[in-house]
Every structure is written in structure tokens, then in C-alpha cells.
Amino acid sequence: MISNYNCIEKELNNISVMDTTLRDGEQNPFCTMYDNEKIEIAKMLEKLNVDIIEAGFAASKGNIEVMKEIASKIKKPYLCGLARATKQDIDATYDAFKKYDKRIVHIFVPTSDVQNDAKLKKSEDELIEMAASAVRYAAKYFQIIEFTPEDSVRSKFSTLTKMCKAVISEGAEVINIADTVGYAMPQEFGQLVKNIKQVVKQESDTVKVSAHCHNDYGMATANTYYAIQNGAGQVETTIWGIGERAGNCSLEQIIALSLRKPRTFDTQIDSTKLYEAAKLVSRATGIKSDFAPIVGKSAFSHKSGIHQHAVVNDVNSYEAVNAKDFGRKSELIMGPCSGYHGVISKAQELGYTIDKTVAANIIIKMSNMVRQKIKREFNDNDIRFMLEVIHKS
């Protein structure tokens, strides 16, 4: 058994959650959302109790209007807008949020050679000046300024250090370490966050380090988790992990890790609403993954006979994550590989008392239907129908 499975919890750090489903999530080629859907999702994010909603990107035509509308419908979380280090983007973000009193502008400048050479072709000094002057300009208009050295992971540490010091001295209060292309491994990312934290600490006790991870090697959640273990005070997530290319760190996965025992961090998120939120984002984008942890269709379902037998007696035998924490229920799914215990228990759930012989009969019926390619999934109505037929015969 993993040690500390049932250990006593110590006082936990509270980590802020910036959800970027509406910004980085929408940058996925297959996740374009209509304005009314974005507003519904923003309201859902507020119900989930996220600390910050990143509502859009000033450079994307059309984002400003919906950002304004979101600002008129939301009360509690901070609202954030992404902006290039230009007056034009900063002004547009201010214009969207000026009537809302918890405004964040999230300014980014590329710091890796590969991105700078491909996009801006500036000297290191010019990049730093560009970042510093944008933060200086934005400081008058926003309660909080977040700054991202884009592609932090592939940037020289010396450049990151100079850039972070410059923007902090102009008023940036969050330094977001971005694994823009999802390249880092967990230990590397954790170490980078730890090193940046030391730099930041020399400048200020209050500036937060944030983690923004992409999933190109499937490490976004692991990297975000390591960032927290190494001092990050904020994480950036999306529902279902939607986002550029292979996506971002998923909100539901990081919240599940916050509840995993022994607990190592806390958030303000109401985990019981995550499933509802995931269904809403699915309806808007068409995106869903049946196998996804926490919100996937099969995340708490059991089909094989051996598992069903054990789960009927104790759900913990085959579930490490607590379904109820996420507004979900454990389920027995009937199929040809179900066993007596599962079928008897399902029948009971549907109001029938059956014995092993009847259960065996149902299993054979399902098996035959699959082998004859008649049907491969059996829902409660199908089982009820079979029970009725057996009952009447």
C-alpha cells in the first residue's frame, strides 16, 4: 500500500486557479465557441469558484465584445485578458473590462531564441525594454499585471532572470512560467519554477509564480503538479485540458490531485460541479473524451465481472478517485464479460430479485448478441427488457 494513504493532513497551501478555457482553450483549432456559449461557460466558471477567468485575447478580432459582455455578467472572480506588449492590446483589454473592478492584464513577450527569431528578431535588451514599458503602461489601468516570458522552458535562464526583474520593478505581480510547446519533463519544470521563485523572492515577497503547461508530451498535468510542489502559487488550466495543439493542463485533473491523499495543496474550486462544467464545454465545442480522468464517460464505470464483484462489496477496491467528490456516481456497466455478482446487483438496482441462473442467462444473451453483431452496449433499459422477458417466460 502506498504509505500515507490515510494520513492526517497538515495545513495546506491554497493555490489560485486561472482558468483559460475561454482563451487558450479556444485556441484549439476544433474548439471555437459562440459568444452565448462563452458567457454560459464564464458563469459556470464563476460557480466553480475559479479565482481568475482568462476571458480572451485582445489581438483576436471579436474577443473584445464578448469580454465586455462577460464583465457585465460576472461578479466574483478576477477577469483577465491576454495582451501582446503593445498599447493597442493593453488599451483594448482595458476597454473590455473598464467597468469591472477586478481586472488583470496578462502581457507576454517571447524569450526563447527560436520564438524571437521567428517572430520579433529583437535583441535581448530590446525584448526586456518592450516588456518593461508595456507593464509600466498597463500599471495605471489594472489591479493586477501578469507577465509571461513566452516559451520560458526553452529560454536562457539569464534572459528569464533579467526579464522577470525588469517587469517586477514596473509592477508585475504574477510571473507565469510557460511551457508553451509542452516540452518539459516534470522534474525539469519543477526545478525551473523553484529557480524562478528564488529570483522573484529577491525582488518581492508578494509576487506569485504561476505555471502554464501544454500537453504535447502528455505531461501538462504532471508538470503543473510539480510546479505546485516547487512553489508555484497559481496554476493555469482548461476544462477537459482543451487548448493549443494537444491542449493544456486540465482543471479537473489538477483538482483531483489536490484531493488526493496525502493532500499537498488546496484550491477554492467546488469539485462537485466539474462534471457539469465539462458537459457544458462539450456541448459548446463538441469535444469530449470517453476515457478522460474524472469527467470521461467511463471514469467511474466497471464492466468486467471480477471488478464488478469487488466493487459491489467495496467501491474502493477498484476506484482510487472518489466519484462523489466530482458530482459523479460509480456505475456497473453490463456486457458479456460481466459476472453473476454484477448482473444480480444491477437487477436489484432496477427493482428485480434474481438468482445466479437468471444472471447467467442474461450474460449468455448479451454474449450472443455481441457475437452476432446485433448490439455491443447494454444500458439499463436493455437489461430491464431482458429481465421482463425472462420474468414472463
User: Omega into 293 within 30° of 0, i.e. cis?
Assistant: no
Binding flags for ligand KIV, 14-53, as an x/- string (CB under 6 A): ----------x-----------------------------
90 Cβ neighbours under 8 A, 6+ residues apart: 58, 83, 105, 107, 134, 137, 138, 141
The distance of closest approach from Cβ of residue 280 to ligand KIV in the complex, given in angstroms and rounded to an integer, is: 22
Task: Please identify, using beta-carbon distances, which residue of 155 and 308 lies nearer to ligand KIV.
Answer: 155
Cα 307 to chain centroid distance, Å, stands at 29
Is 108 among the residues that bind ligand KIV (CB under 6 A)? yes
Picked from ligand KIV, Zn ion, none, the partner binding residue 150 (CB below 5 to 8 A depending on kind) is ligand KIV
Q: Which is nearer to ligand KIV, 82 or 167 (CB)?
A: 82
Smallest separation, CB 10 to Zn ion (Å): 32
| Contact yes or no for 149/155 (Cβ under 8 A) | yes
CB of 26 to Zn ion, least distance (A): 11
Q: Point out which span in 24-32, 58-66, 73-81, 191-199 binds Zn ion (CB under 5 A).
A: 24-32
Q: How far is the CB of 237 from Zn ion (least distance, A)?
A: 11
Interface with ligand KIV, residue 237, by CB under 6 A = no
Residue 294 amino acid letter? I
How many binding residues for Zn ion (CB under 5 A)? 1
Site string for ligand KIV, 116-155 (x = CB under 6 A): --------------------------------x-x-----
- Supply the DSSP symbol for 333: -
Q: Which is nearer to ligand KIV, 176 or 253 (CB)?
A: 176
In whole angstroms, what is the distance from residue 83 CA to residue 100 CA?
17
Size of the site for ligand KIV (CB under 6 A): 10
For ligand KIV, which is the closer residue by CB, 178 or 386?
A: 178
Q: Please state the three-class secondary structure of 51-98 as a single string.
A: CEEEEEECCCCCHHHHHHHHHHHCCCCEEEEEEECCHHHHHHHHHHHC
The radius of gyration computed from the CA coordinates of the chain, to the nearest angstrom, equals: 25
Is 89 among the residues that bind ligand KIV (CB under 6 A)? no
Give whichever of 107 and 387 is closer to ligand KIV, judged by the CB atom.
107
Q: Which stretch binds ligand KIV (CB under 6 A): 91-99, 115-123, 131-139, 172-180?
A: 172-180
What is the enclosing helix (H) or strand (E) of 356? Answer: helix 356-371
| Residue 54 contacts Zn ion per CB under 5 A | no
Shortest distance (Å) from residue 177 CB to Zn ion: 11
CB of 141 to ligand KIV, least distance (A): 19
Grid coordinates of 79: 477577469
- The C-alpha atoms of residue 193 and residue 177 are separated, in whole angstroms, by 7
- Inter-residue contact 178 to 192 (CB < 8 Å): no
- How many C-beta atoms lie closer than 10 Å to residue 236's C-beta? 33
Q: Residue 165 is placed in which grid cell? A: 526583474
Chain centroid to CA 205: 28
Smallest gap from Cβ 214 to Zn ion, in A, equals: 6
What's the min distance (Å) between Cβ of 148 and ligand KIV? 4
Residues 6+ apart with CB under 8 A from 119: 110
**Nearest-angstrom CA–CA distance, 221 and 292:** 13
Least gap, CB of 214 to ligand KIV (angstroms): 6
φ and ψ of 370, to 5 deg: -70, -45
Listed ranges 22-30, 56-64, 145-153, 308-316: which one lies at the site for Zn ion (CB under 5 A): 22-30
Task: Supply 287's cell numbers.
Answer: 469535444
Quickly count helices (H) and strands (E) in the chain: 14, 12
Q: How far is the CB of 95 from ligand KIV (least distance, A)?
A: 20
- Judged by CB, which is closer to ligand KIV: 103, or 307? 103
The binder of ligand KIV chosen from 178, 184, 232, 274 (CB under 6 A): 178
Q: Applying CB under 5 A, does 24 fall inside the site for Zn ion?
A: yes
Residue with cell 497559481: 234
Identify the bridge partners of residue 214 per DSSP, sorted by sequence position: 248
Which among 44, 16, 6, 25 is positioned nearest to 277, based on CA atoms?
A: 44
Residue tagged 470521461 (cell numbers): 296
Q: Which residues of this chain interact with ligand KIV, rule CB under 6 A?
A: 24, 82, 108, 148, 150, 176, 178, 180, 212, 214
Q: Which residues of this chain interact with Zn ion, rule CB under 5 A?
A: 24
